[in-house]
Amino acid sequence: MAHRPKRTFRQRAADSSDSDGAEESPAEPRVPREVAAPGSAEEGPPSGGGRARVAGRPHRVRGPRGRGRVWASSRRAKEAAPRADEGSESRVLDVSTDEEDEIHHSSESKGDQGLSSDSSSSLGEKELSSTVKIPDAAFIQAARRKRELARAQDDYISLDVEHTSTVSDMKRESEDDPESEPDDHEKRIPFTLKPQTFRQRMAEESISRNEETSEESQEDEKQDIWERQQMRKAVKIIEERDIDLSRGSGSSKVKKFDTSISFTPVNLEIIKKQLNTRLTLLQETHRSHLREYEKYVQDVKSSKSTIQNLESSSNQALNCKFYKSMKIYVENLIDCLNEKIINIQEIESSMHALLLKQAMTFMKRRQDELKHESTYLQQLSRKDETSTSGNLAVDEKTQWILEEIESRRTKRRQARMLSGNCNHQEGTSSDDELPSAEMTDFQKSQGDILQKQKKVFEDVHDDFCNIQNILLKFQQWREKFPDSYYEAFISLCIPKLLNPLVRVQLIDWNPLKLDSTGLKEMPWFKSVEEFMDSSVEDSKKESSSDKKILSTIINKTIIPRLTDFVEFLWDPLSASQTTNLITHCRVILEEHSICENEVSKSKQDLLKSIVSRMKKAVEDDVFIPLYPKSAVENKTSPHSKFQERQFWSGLKLFHNILLWNGLLTDDTLQELGLGKLLNRYLIIALLNATPGPDVVKKCNQVAACLPEKWFENSATRTSIPQLENFIQFLLQSAHKLSRSEFRDKVEEIILILVKIKALNQAESFIGEHHLDHLKSLIKKD
């Protein structure tokens, strides 16, 4: 529906044919209002001093009104026609209001003719178009010239008629002669506005009043148009309604008076059947409603029981308070640990650097001493480099190193004599003594680090640094709300929370030392065990996640630290370090290993580092020189002593390697101990030695190092393939000893062959040498 414009109740003036154009108010047009054609009006602001001027195109004329189009009255159109018949040449220019209104209304009547003809078809006002006449070309030309003259004369029209005519003639001549017009560069360019005259100001005020009047007239016209549109729509709706009513009444009449329609005959059976059908439907509906009612009743009962259960359960406010306090506690604990972890890492690095410096000192000293002593013995074996007095000229550094070596050996011999250990062999000592000054510095640095360790949690409450108190908080959670405890996977979070606290306790832990604290004696180990034992889980959850907390801590915290000791600090030639390390590794890898089906990457890394470190020791630290028999026949000679020490050092490494039996695979140990060390170094040294009691003793030591597990389930009467070279050396030694004064040592060799399951070789040797009294040794086995 069209928007209804605002209605203005303004009294319209009546038409008067005797009034003049100057006397008529421009806000009261006499012609009936018509709809303005779009685009027919050309709007623009008044120019100059507000006087009307001719537009750019000659057939458009602008009146004194500034905006919009005001429709010309029929009376003014009638007055414009006789004026157009008069000669425009004899007409004088006048700036009166009558002349301006005449020009304005004559120009607008030209545009009003087309619009009035269009609107006459819709409004039925044909008599108006017959009274409007179009001015002729002469009249329009005269009006144009008047305005041009007014523009040429300082923007106002003079009252002097003669002067005006002269100016008009000059203007006409200038029009006839286009060459007389000044060029663009000769024209005067105004830069300021000229002062307005009284007449110009009056004209501006008249224009503003005319604009207001034109707006009011346009509103009246829109109001009339809207009313006519509404009237048309109302008439159209009424006509359509009458047509529908007439059609509906006609169809009802047809149905009412249609006698051709036949109805089905009705009797009591049909009515009864329909009533029964209807009754059945109603009964089914009633039963469905009953079922729904019963369901709703059950829902209400269950809701009431749920409400009672919730009311009878623990107070939700207390539960919320507990969860909130637990959340705040965990957040504060995490903030505390995040702040302290930096100090913990620094202290760990300091301790690791101190121990690494000491381990590198021992390793470098052993390698340097081995190098200098071997060089000295090589020089000693060359007779041409000796002096006349029989002494060897050596440099001062080598002499000082040799003296230091002998001094430490003397001290160790004295210590063994005091302890009553007389079966010790030279070369099996670890040689890990430090000078007193270096030992003092080491102990001082270690004490400073331990003091820093004690100050890490000096400013922290026990609830945030004591593992037992922390686990007690989570134990309370597990006891009060086990469901939420296990749904939150707390067992996966506890090892991460305890990691910094466990690392602090491990700063002073050295698994290579004999007096190191075992894992089971550590406070954190006991606290975690108690937490696991106090689990409130039922029997159906025996394999719960809480049972894996200890193994997770070991695999995430203990094993990586143990791996660092193996890679950087462990000396495989040291029997004490190897024994202590194996003890801790057995506790970690066997007693507290994770599930069998689960693969631990940290465990694999630890075993790989152990194997890698032993390989490096075999390649870098084993050196058994071979000297002429003349140089080693004398057991007191430096060459013989040095060779003996190096053999027993290699045999010590062989023993340390095979101690890993049960932790490392048999193939790995056989490759390292038998393939790389026994067959490559020890057998060659034994072959170079003279058969006798010393050789048999060494062979017994080699056989004692071999794990008995390798020979328990031997299905055949032969030993493992890697011992074939060792078995052949035993047979050769037995042949030589059977023909020498040490025939009683053959029995020991037969026992060695039986121990390593070389039964076929032992029987053949006994039968070959007719040693029937030794057959009982094989049968006992």
Q: What would the pLDDT profile of 421-430 be if each residue is shown by its tens digit?
A: 666 677 777 7
In a domain, 467, yes or no: yes
**Residue length, the chain?**
781
* Structure-model confidence comparison of residues 627 and 778, the more confident one: 627
In a domain, 194, yes or no: no
The residue range of the domain holding 358 is 321-383+395-414+436-621
Q: Give the pLDDT mean for 437-453.
A: 93
Question: Can you give the pLDDT at residue 213?
Answer: 76
Residue 233 has pLDDT above 50, yes or no: yes
- Distance between CA atoms of residues 660 and 651, nearest Å: 15
pLDDT in tens, 489-538: 998 999 999 999 999 999 999 999 988 888 889 999 999 989 988 875 54
Residues 6+ apart with CB under 8 A from 350: 449, 452
The answer to which of 65-69, 299-303, 408-412, 731-735 has the lowest mean pLDDT is 65-69
The answer to which of 39-43, 183-187, 726-730, 776-780 has the lowest mean pLDDT is 39-43
In a domain, 547, yes or no: yes
Residue 103 has pLDDT above 80, yes or no: no
Cβ(756)–Cβ(723) below 8 Å: yes
Question: Can you give the pLDDT at residue 144?
Answer: 86
Question: Can you give the pLDDT at residue 45?
Answer: 38
Kindly report the backbone phi and psi dihedral angles of residue 606, in degrees, each rounded to the nearest multiple of 5, phi listed first.
-65, -45
**% of the chain surpassing 90 pLDDT:** 31
Residue 259 has pLDDT above 80, yes or no: no
Question: Can you give the pLDDT at residue 185?
Answer: 52
In a domain, 446, yes or no: yes
In a domain, 713, yes or no: no
Residue 130 has pLDDT above 90, yes or no: no
pLDDT in tens, 144-177: 888 888 777 655 555 544 444 444 444 444 444 4
Question: Can you give the pLDDT at residue 52?
Answer: 34
Residue 573 CB neighbour total at 10 angstroms: 23
Question: Can you give the pLDDT at residue 1?
Answer: 41
Number of domains present in the structure of the chain: 1
* Structure-model confidence comparison of residues 58 and 270, the more confident one: 270
Q: Give the pLDDT mean for 263-280.
A: 87
- Burial profile 545-569: b = 16 or more Cβ within 10 angstroms, e = fewer: ebebbbbbbbbbbbbebbbebbbeb
Q: Give the pLDDT mean for 239-244.
A: 72
pLDDT in tens, 296-334: 999 999 999 988 877 766 567 778 888 899 999 999 999
Long-range contacts formed by 136-141: CB under 8 A, 24+ apart: 136/84, 138/84, 138/87, 138/88, 139/80, 139/83, 139/84, 139/88, 139/106, 140/58, 140/61, 140/107, 141/88
The answer to which of 214-223, 570-579, 676-685, 746-755 has the lowest mean pLDDT is 214-223
In a domain, 645, yes or no: no
CA distances from 360 to 93, 354, 357, 555, 618 (A): 125, 10, 5, 28, 17
* Mean of per-residue pLDDT scores for the chain: 75
The answer to which of 190-194, 222-226, 271-275, 648-652 has the lowest mean pLDDT is 190-194
- Distance between CA atoms of residues 687 and 538, nearest Å: 67
pLDDT in tens, 524-583: 999 998 998 887 554 345 456 788 898 889 989 999 999 999 999 999 999 999 999 999
In a domain, 161, yes or no: no
The answer to which of 283-292, 392-401, 470-479 has the lowest mean pLDDT is 392-401
Confidence of residue 450 (pLDDT cuts 50, 70, 90): very high
Question: Can you give the pLDDT at residue 26?
Answer: 37
Write down the residue that tokens 């003049």 correspond to. Answer: 20
In a domain, 216, yes or no: no
